[in-house]
């Protein structure tokens, strides 16, 4: 955060902590390329880039795969397939959540 002097109104410039070619900032301050995240080799001094919780989120399937999977379930089990999985409270909830494609985005 930089404040430029003698300007009215005050202009605030936000600068990214990491350059675009190393956009991931480790908690310890190092900057790492995205391709080095969750690659089995720690690049952050605290090994955060190999943290199990973060890497699980990084390996979720693409939206297209999730959407295709949900559409296959819908075709095979009918419009209320969620009821078969989660019980009667799930009846009609897929439409309420915005449909298959929006649910796929949320899950991916």
Please spell the DSSP secondary structure of 59-92, one letter per residue: TPPPHHHHHHHHHHHHHHH-TTHHHHHH-GGGTT
Largest CA distance in the chain: 67
With contact defined as beta carbons under 8 Å apart, do 22 and 37 qualify? no
For 33-66, write each residue's pLDDT tens digit.
988 988 899 999 999 999 988 787 667 788 888 8
Averaged pLDDT, 85-102: 76
* pTM score: 0.44
Q: How confident is the model at residue 11 (pLDDT cuts 50, 70, 90)?
A: low
Share of the chain above pLDDT 70, in %: 81
């Amino acid at each position: 955060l930089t404040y430029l002097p003698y300007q009215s109104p005050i202009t605030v410039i936000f600068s990214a902590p990491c350059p675009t070619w190393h956009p991931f900032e480790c908690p310890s301050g190092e900057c790492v390329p995205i391709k080095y995240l969750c690659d089995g080799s720690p690049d952050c001094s605290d090994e955060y880039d190999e943290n199990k919780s973060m890497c699980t989120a990084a390996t979720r399937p693409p939206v297209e795969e999730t959407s295709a999977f949900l559409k296959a379930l819908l075709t095979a089990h009918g419009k209320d397939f969620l009821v078969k999985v989660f019980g009667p409270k799930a009846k009609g909830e897929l439409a309420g959540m915005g449909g298959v494609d929006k649910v796929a985005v949320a899950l991916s």
